[in-house]
Amino acid sequence: MSKKIFTVLLLAVFMLAQFSIASAAVVAGDASITAIPDFANAVDVDIDWAVTGMAGPSQNILVWSRIQNLAVPAVYSTCYDLATIIGTSDASGTYTYVLPAVANGDVVEFLITVESTNCAGAVAPLATEAAMGETTVDSAPMEGIFSIPPYDGVAAFGSQPVACNNFELWALATDNWAPIVPAGTGYSGGAWNPSVTGTFVPAPIGANSSLLSWNFTFPATASGAWSMSVNPEDASGNMGATAASFRTALAVAAGETADCETFSDISGSDYETYVRYLASLGLISGFADGTFGPDTTLTRAEASALIEISNGYDDTMLPTSAPAGCDFTDVAASDWFSGWVWQACADGYMNGVGGGLFDPNNLLTRGQIVTILNNVANTGGTGGFLTTFNVINGPWGTPFPYRSGAWTDVSVGAFYAIPVVNAYGVGVANGTSDTTFSPDQAVTRGEFAKMLYRALSQVAPLP
């Protein structure tokens, strides 16, 4: 073999070797995260991934993570080997990624890469590399309140009887109490995990939401021990250590199977349960013709009477002259409502409208009723249902409402602005739509009954 031919062959071998070495380092593939849950517990998270367009002979699929830091991008500090692919086929799968040390509220970002080596030999992606997916760490159980029917006795949450056979149990839960990040996340899904013991089956619990409304009707044949509980679970699987329970197996008494008071025009109304239950307690009443008028309005004078009846007053206990600061020029001692107006004013529940007027015959608005209930929360009750541990004198005044709304018709600085936030935040009132509260709209008698029922419901914290 001539020296020239040998040199050419040697050069060819060298070039092939270089090509082979270079080829071993060249990998291709379009990687993506196809699904990742919004929330994860502090242990692990399931990541769905896919890679297409790979070039053989061998590729390693890696997943990297970092704690989100929006001010200064963090490095991808943790790596796991997802798979080693031989050939050029596409690949996909689900990987349970064990999270590094994380805290409740951390946002963890993830990136999938295709490499010629595994994690041990791979170089971490640059901090500027955009993440493909993220999840919020949620390691805390749900927070909120569990509420049971109005009761004017001592706080006996586990053994309280009910006034008649139909009532609402309700609860409010949030994941934004810990707090969770990002702010305003709210309820993250999951289930209420209801449990009932007894001789009957209650109405279905309905869809998961931040506000649970559970309606019960005791049939005439109900007997024996009965209890119910809820233990809300969020999307990350977090649950309280114990369930929030009502009755704890208290036997059903005969009076509890008696029909609630009723009216000829209330059947099928959205407010039927609230109206009938409060009427059975003697807190509201209907008209002489046997109707209640759930869709009709009520006046400010009527509202003063209703709130003071809940405060334990009857017409024999009312002032006969205006207390200091409550001498309104449009309220005369001969008016049927004078004592109620004066008492509501003296207790700090209702104020005048300015110019020495109370405006007793004008319609009560939605903004005014939540303001009245907020005033009760701020001043306390002197008797009746307002002295028990109910919603308005329990969590009503907490600095963190359990739910929040974005109202386009509630102006900052309006007299009802904070009451609207509080009333909605603790489940006493709802909006008229997702974006409106309609504070200047006249409240109906049915709406008033529902708000009053919720406000007077006894409460306990969720676990």
Examine residue 177 and state whether it is found in any structural domain, yes or no: yes
**Residues 118 and 55 both lie in one domain:** yes
Q: Are residue 159 and residue 274 in the same domain, yes or no?
A: yes
Among the three residues 114, 137, 160, which one is the final residue of a domain in this structure?
A: 137
Same domain, residue pair 155 and 219: yes
Domain shared by 130 and 169, yes or no: no
- pLDDT value for 142: 82
Whether residues 82 and 153 share a domain: the answer is no
Q: How many domains is the chain built from?
A: 2
| Of 111, 137, 163, the domain-final residue | 137
Q: Does the residue 350 lie in any domain?
A: no
Q: Based on the domain organization, do 69 and 99 belong to the same domain?
A: yes
Here the CATH number for the domain that contains residue 48 is 2.60.40
**Residue 132 resides in a domain:** yes
Confidence grade of residue 22 (pLDDT, cut at 50, 70, 90): very low
Same domain, residue pair 126 and 150: no
Residues 150-164: pLDDT tens digits?
A: 988 766 677 889 999
Same-domain check for residues 194 and 126: no
pLDDT score, position 35: 97
Confidence of residue 205 (pLDDT cuts 50, 70, 90): confident
| 122 and 166 part of one domain | no
237 in the same domain as 100: no
pLDDT digits (tens, 9 = 90+) for 386-428: 988 889 887 776 666 788 888 999 999 999 999 999 999 999 9
User: Distance between CA atoms of 135 and 39, rounded to whole angstroms?
Assistant: 5
Domain shared by 241 and 382, yes or no:
yes
**Domain match, 152 and 238 both:** yes
pLDDT band at 311 (very low <50, low <70, confident <90, very high): very high
Q: Could you list the residue range(s) of the whole structural domain that residue 43 is in? A: 25-137
Express each pLDDT in 277-293 by its tens digit. Answer: 999 999 999 999 999 99
Which of 172 and 190 is assigned the larger pLDDT? 172
Residue 84 lies in a domain: yes
What is the chain's mean pLDDT, rounded? 87
